[in-house]
């Protein structure tokens, strides 16, 4: 029984890697907040403002790449169909 799935194993691997990068980005954003009793200057650290959101964004781009990249067999068959 041959099933043709929309996404191949490579696509799923890229999506998984992207999801992992997004999770790492969100984990890096976590930390103790400032309260009324104590100010926490760590909320403005480079890790939480620059690095973590950049990692999360890169992860989302990798997930989109994993969804949009075609199987090599599909790309070749569509080129053959356009010539006919």
Instruction: State the DSSP string of 14-75.
Output: HHHHHHHHHHHHHHHH--PPP-SS---GGGG-HIIIIIHHHHHHHHHHHHHHHHHPPPHHHH
pTM, 2 dp = 0.78
Nearest residue to 64 (alpha-carbon basis) of 21, 32, 27: 21
pLDDT band at 77 (very low <50, low <70, confident <90, very high): low
Domain extent listing, the chain: 9-31+39-76
pLDDT in tens, 12-62: 999 999 999 999 999 999 988 888 898 988 889 999 999 999 999 999 999
The pLDDT assigned to 15 comes to 96
Q: Assess whether pLDDT exceeds 60 at residue 84.
A: no
């Amino acid at each position: 029984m041959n099933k043709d799935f929309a996404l191949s194993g490579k696509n799923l691997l890229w999506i998984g890697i992207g999801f992992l990068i997004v999770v790492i980005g969100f984990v890096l954003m976590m930390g103790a907040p400032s309260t009324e009793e104590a100010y926490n200057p760590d909320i403005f650290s480079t890790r939480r403002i620059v690095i973590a959101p950049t990692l999360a964004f890169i992860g989302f781009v990798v997930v989109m790449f994993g969804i949009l990249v075609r199987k090599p067999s599909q790309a070749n068959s569509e080129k053959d169909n356009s010539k006919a």
